[in-house]
Amino acid sequence: MSDLVASPVLPDYAPLPASALGPALNEQGFHVGQVERNLFWVTDSVYVAAFLATPDGVVLFDAPPTLGHNLQRAIDEITGALGTPNAVTHLVYSHHHADHAGAASLFPTATLIGHAETKRLLLRDDDPTRPAPEITFSNTYTLEVGGERIDLAYRGPNHTPDNIFIHFPDHDALMLIDIVNPGWVPIFNTNLSEDMPGYMDAAAQALEYSWTHLIAGHLGRLGTRADVELHKAYIADVVAAAYAALASVDPTQYFVKYGANAWGWVNGYLTEITTTATRPVVEKYTGVLAAADIEALTYTTTFMLMQSLRLDKGVGSQVHP
C-alpha cells in the first residue's frame, strides 16, 4: 500500500448495551421468529419484516431488499413446519420507501395493498422493484385472510406522508415502521423523517393501541412498550434541550462577524444552538440507547426537531415592529 494514501482514523464507539441486540442469525443471514400464533417476524439484524401464515396463504408485511430472497426462505421454513401454503397471496406496504419495499417485485402474484398516498408516491418513483398497490385506502382498511384480521390505519403524515399503523388485534402486535428503533437512537434526522410533528405524535399514537409486540422495521429485535416510552423520553429530552438552546444562545457574535453574509451568520447561530442542545442528550443516553454516542445521529435529529420548533411551532418568531 502506498505511503501516500492516508489511512482514515476510525473512531471507537461505546460498547453496545445488551438491549441493542436480537437473536443470532442463521447461516443464510436471517432469523425468523414467532410473534404470536401464526404471525412471524424476520430480520437480518438491520431490517425487520413480518408475515402471517394462514390456511389460505401468506400475508407479507414489507419486503426489505436486504432480506430479499431470505423472505421466501423464512416463509418456507415456517409454513413447511405448519403444513400451510407457502405462497404469498398478499403484500402490505407500510410506506413507499425502497429500503422496506424494494423486494416487492419478488412476489409478482401477490395482491399489493397500501395507502392511497403510497400508490401515488410509487407511481411517481416509477421503480420496477416496488409496483404500486392495487388495493388502496384513505383512512382505515380491514384485511381478512384465512380467518385472520389485520387493521390498517392512516393517522396522517409522520416518517413519510404515507406511513401507516398495522394492528394485529388477535396477535397482540402492532407494526409501525421507522418511528421507534427498539434499543437504538434514531438514525440521522429522526430516522430520515419528513413531518416532525407527525413523527413526534406517532410514538404516542402507537401506545393508544393494544399490543405487547412492536414490529418496528429496524435492528434485530421486536420492540416493547418500554422501548416506545424510552424513545419518547429521548425525543422529549431533545426537544427540551432545543427549546433551552433557542432561548439561551446569543447570535450577536455571528451578526458582527458575517454581516451581509446572511447564510454565514445563520450557519454559525444554528450550529451553536444544535451543538448546545445535542451535548446533554448524548451524555444522558450513552449506554442506554445504542449509538447515542455517535454524535452526528443526535445532532441531526436535534437539528430537525429544533427547526420544527421554529417553523411548525413558531418558537422565537418575531414580527418586525
- Count of residues of this chain found to bind Zn ion when the rule CB under 5 A is applied: 2
Q: Closest distance between Zn ion and the C-beta of residue 177, in Å?
A: 6
Cα dihedral 223, 301, 44, 63 sign? positive
Q: Which three cell numbers stand for residue 121?
A: 408516491
Residue least distant from Zn ion (Cβ): 97
DSSP 133: P
Kindly indicate which of the ranges 17-25, 93-101, 218-226, 265-273 contains the residues binding Zn ion, using the contact rule CB under 5 A: 93-101
96 binds Zn ion (CB under 5 A): no
Binding span for Zn ion by CB under 5 A among 21-29, 50-58, 97-105, 291-299: 97-105
Q: Min. distance of Cβ 285 from Zn ion in angstroms?
A: 22
Measured CA distances, 312 to 247, 249, 253, 255, 268 (Å): 17, 20, 27, 25, 22
Do the strands 48-54 and 39-43 form a parallel or antiparallel pair, or are they unpaired?
antiparallel
Of 31, 90, 96, 97, the one binding Zn ion (CB under 5 A) is 97
Q: According to the binding rule CB under 5 A, does residue 148 interact with Zn ion?
A: no
Q: Cβ(71)–Cβ(63) under 8 Å?
A: yes
Task: Look up cell 413558531; give the residue.
Answer: 314
Nearer residue to Zn ion within complex by CB, 192 or 244: 192
Residue 117 binds Zn ion (CB under 5 A): no
50 - beta bridge partners?
41, 61
Bridge partners, residue 214, by sequence: 174, 223
Does 162 contact Zn ion by CB under 5 A? Answer: no
Q: Is 34 helix (H, G, I), strand (E, B) or coil?
A: strand
d(CA 46, CA 53): 23
Closer to Zn ion at the Cβ: 54 or 158?
158
Residue 227 binds Zn ion, judged by CB under 5 A? no
Which of residues 44, 178, 195, 293 is near Zn ion by CB under 5 A? 178
Q: Which stretch binds Zn ion (CB under 5 A): 64-72, 94-102, 117-125, 145-153?
A: 94-102
Residue ranges that bind Zn ion, judged by CB under 5 A: 97, 178
